[in-house]
């Protein structure tokens, strides 16, 4: 849980609290005078990095309920902002809360407008926060926060007057159907519990009369008064307060309230109850902060960067630890494999020592076996090339083979000189078969010379050419195969004499052609 600074602001002082590890501590008070301001400035210099949440409990706080036409979206927001500026013109600290809709008529929105009518009481403290660049997160109203107490203490009466003793004085808040309608802050009664209780009862009578005169509470309706105070104060009030036809009293001691709010230390005033609710879960600010709250987004960005950096550091540490562990494992595995290799080498040497003498060394025999395996796997054979030709002839049954001549091309030795090549051509020495011709390291190109003929239909050489071209196209479909027409069925070159007899009476009724296939596996 993040640390927070919780300030409780009244007309005459500001109390500073610290929220750490889910617990509220501190309570240092600073007066609203020159000495108090100077002391508060020194205090801020030591707590500049912790966000601040201020609860204002001032006498100069106004609450008004109005009915506005129901509107949603941008039009509704503009209407609400315009009416809010009309109701409270002279202060920037204003708020509007929609509390539902009226039950009759056109069902207008019921809106509660609130404002701190004397902004100077707040500006002096906020100026010090801005001067020290302290991140100000929110400015709350103690009266609006008292609605949390109504929910936590299960006070669900339709007409409820919540009475609390706070640093600012005696706060009386009137709720209709758990919605705040009016609030009044008066000075706390001095003296002993009996005298203070009598003063509280007198103030409550004034508030009861005000609610009736303003028609917030109709005649004959029962007003439930819930008093949240110390046990001693409740004992003194119990002797003076009696239930009547229009008034019912409920007393809640601080110990019971602290237990319901899960607070360990029982407070003397309600300040700590409100501050604890903010410490556990801070709601959005009641009063909008413009210039004074500009350092809080910067603080959020800085905290986000710190969190991201910490996450990157943690991930990097885990990754580095995993790599180190992997290196240790790899070193152990390397040592194990090295030891195993040494053992196998020793066993191999021991086995060789007991073998009888051999003509060839084991390494040479191993190399010969490997060469034989390569030759059997990659050695040139006519079978694959003939299979390609057979597949094409199946689709051209008119062609009849007369001769197949298969040979392996001998690649030129890249290390041979031109003179050595001339000597080989001249027969100066016997050429040797290269390793490439044997399929080492790759299969060599192969050539297949095909002599074939086909029957002529009344000397129609056009059909013969079409059949031969069909065979050539089928063979050329294989990308590894190059097809060359050596001799066509009819030699039509300009330099060759064209002779023969066409027609049904021709003696020779077959046409021959020759193809050369070059296959590169």
Instruction: Judge whether residue 53 has pLDDT over 90.
Output: yes
CA distance 292 to 288: 10
CA distance 298 to 303: 9
Alpha carbon distances (Å) from 151 to 111, 145, 254, 483: 20, 11, 16, 94
Q: How many CA atoms lie within 13 A of 2 on its CB side?
A: 17
CB-CB contact of 18 with 26 (8 Å): yes
pLDDT band, residue 437 (cuts 50/70/90) = low
Residue located via tokens 């889910």: 22
Check residues 196 and 276 and name the one with the higher pLDDT: 276
Q: CB burial class (10 A; 0-12, 13-18, 19+) of residue 37?
A: middle
380-402 pLDDT, tens digit per residue, is 888 888 999 999 999 998 899 99
Q: Which of 54, 51, 127, 128 is nearest to 302 (CA)?
A: 51
Domain 383-412+436-519 CATH class label: alpha beta
CB-CB contact of 440 with 370 (8 Å): no
Instruction: Judge whether residue 428 has pLDDT over 60.
Output: no
pLDDT band, residue 212 (cuts 50/70/90) = confident
Residue located via tokens 């001249």: 426
User: What is the reported pLDDT for 287?
Assistant: 93
CA distance 319 to 136: 38
Helix, strand, or coil here: 42? helix
Count the Cβ atoms, other than its own, within 10 Å of residue 313: 10
CB-CB contact of 206 with 217 (8 Å): no
Over the Cα atoms of the chain, what is R_g? 52
User: What is the reported pLDDT for 426?
Assistant: 47
483-518 pLDDT, tens digit per residue, is 999 988 877 767 666 655 555 444 457 889 999 999
- Cα-based angle 124, 143, 9 (whole degrees, multiple of 5): 25
Check residues 117 and 499 and name the one with the higher pLDDT: 117
Q: Which of 16-25, 212-221, 367-376, 485-494 is the most confident on average?
A: 16-25
User: What is the reported pLDDT for 447?
Assistant: 92
Q: Which of 252, 353, 262 is nearest to 24 (CA)?
A: 262
Mean pLDDT calculated for residue range 450-475: 87
User: What is the reported pLDDT for 134?
Assistant: 93
Instruction: Judge whether residue 419 has pLDDT over 70.
Output: no
CA distance 289 to 95: 11
Instruction: Judge whether residue 420 has pLDDT over 60.
Output: no
Mean pLDDT calculated for residue range 183-203: 80
Residue located via tokens 């020759």: 514
DSSP 288: -
User: What is the reported pLDDT for 291?
Assistant: 86
CB-CB contact of 261 with 132 (8 Å): no
Instruction: Judge whether residue 424 has pLDDT over 50.
Output: no
Instruction: Judge whether residue 422 has pLDDT over 50.
Output: no
Mean pLDDT calculated for residue range 337-350: 93
228-250 pLDDT, tens digit per residue, is 988 888 888 888 888 888 889 99
pLDDT band, residue 416 (cuts 50/70/90) = very low
Let me know if the fold of 4-60+118-293 is the same as that of 383-412+436-519.
no
DSSP 240: T
User: What is the reported pLDDT for 425?
Assistant: 44
Q: Phi, psi (5° rounding) for residue 137?
A: -90, -40
Instruction: Judge whether residue 263 has pLDDT over 90.
Output: no
Instruction: Judge whether residue 305 has pLDDT over 90.
Output: yes
User: What is the reported pLDDT for 506?
Assistant: 45
Q: Which CATH number fits domain 4-60+118-293: 3.40.50.2300, 3.20.20.450, 3.30.420.40, 3.10.450.50?
A: 3.30.420.40
Of 121-125, 285-289, 354-358, the one with minimum mean pLDDT is 354-358
Mean pLDDT calculated for residue range 268-288: 91
User: What is the reported pLDDT for 503?
Assistant: 53
Mean pLDDT calculated for residue range 322-351: 93
Give the domain ranges of the chain. Answer: 4-60+118-293, 383-412+436-519
pTM here? 0.63
User: What is the reported pLDDT for 431?
Assistant: 52
119-134 pLDDT, tens digit per residue, is 999 999 999 999 999 9
Mean pLDDT calculated for residue range 427-451: 70
Mean pLDDT of the chain: 86
């Amino acid at each position: 849980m993040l640390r927070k600074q919780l300030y409780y602001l009244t007309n005459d002082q500001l109390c500073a609290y610290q929220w750490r590890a889910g617990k509220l501590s501190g309570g240092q008070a600073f007066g609203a005078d020159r000495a108090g301001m100077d002391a508060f400035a020194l205090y801020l210099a030591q707590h500049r990095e912790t966000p601040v949440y201020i609860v204002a409990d001032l006498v100069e706080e106004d609450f008004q309920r109005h009915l506005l036409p129901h509107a949603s979206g941008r039009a509704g927001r503009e209407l609400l902002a315009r009416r809010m500026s009309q109701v409270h013109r002279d202060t920037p600290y204003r708020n509007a809360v929609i509390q539902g809709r009226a039950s009759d008529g056109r069902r207008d929105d019921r809106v509660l407008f609130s404002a701190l009518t004397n902004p100077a009481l707040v500006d002096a403290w906020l100026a010090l926060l801005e001067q020290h660049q302290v991140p100000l997160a929110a400015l709350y109203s103690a009266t609006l926060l008292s609605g949390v107490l109504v929910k936590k203490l299960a006070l669900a009466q339709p007409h409820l007057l919540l009475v609390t003793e706070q640093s600012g004085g005696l706060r009386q808040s009137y709720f209709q159907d758990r919605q705040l309608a009016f609030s009044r802050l008066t000075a706390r009664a001095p003296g002993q519990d009996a005298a203070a209780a009598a003063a509280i009862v007198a103030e409550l009578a004034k508030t009861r009369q005000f609610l009736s005169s303003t028609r917030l509470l109709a005649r004959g309706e029962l007003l439930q008064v819930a008093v949240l105070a110390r046990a001693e104060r409740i004992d003194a009030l119990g002797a003076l307060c009696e239930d009547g036809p229009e008034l019912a009293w409920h007393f809640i001691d601080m110990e019971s309230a602290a237990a319901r709010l899960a607070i360990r230390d029982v407070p003397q005033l309600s300040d700590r109850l409100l501050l604890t609710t903010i410490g556990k879960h801070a709601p959005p600010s009641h009063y909008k902060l413009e210039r004074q709250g500009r350092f809080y987004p910067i603080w959020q960005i800085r905290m986000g960067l710190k969190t991201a950096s910490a996450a990157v550091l943690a991930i990097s540490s885990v990754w580095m630890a995993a790599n180190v562990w992997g290196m240790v494992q790899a070193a152990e595995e390397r040592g194990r494999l090295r030891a195993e290799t040494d053992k196998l080498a020793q066993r191999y040497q021991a086995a060789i020592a007991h073998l009888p003498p051999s003509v060839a060394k084991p390494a040479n025999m191993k190399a010969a076996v490997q060469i034989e395996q390569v030759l059997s796997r990659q050695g040139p054979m006519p079978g694959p090339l003939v299979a390609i030709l057979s597949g094409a002839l199946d689709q051209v049954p008119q062609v009849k083979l007369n001769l197949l001549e298969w040979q392996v091309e001998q690649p030129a030795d890249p290390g041979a000189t031109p003179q050595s090549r001339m000597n080989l051509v001249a027969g100066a020495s016997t050429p040797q078969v290269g390793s490439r011709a044997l399929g080492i390291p790759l299969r060599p190109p192969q050539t297949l010379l095909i002599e074939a003929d086909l029957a002529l239909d009344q000397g129609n050489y056009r059909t013969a050419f079409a059949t031969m071209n069909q065979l050539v196209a089928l063979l050329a479909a294989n990308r590894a195969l190059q097809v060359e027409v050596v001799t066509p069925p009819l030699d039509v070159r300009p330099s060759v004499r064209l002779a023969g007899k066409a027609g049904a009476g021709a003696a020779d009724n077959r046409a021959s052609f020759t193809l050369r296939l070059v296959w590169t596996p």
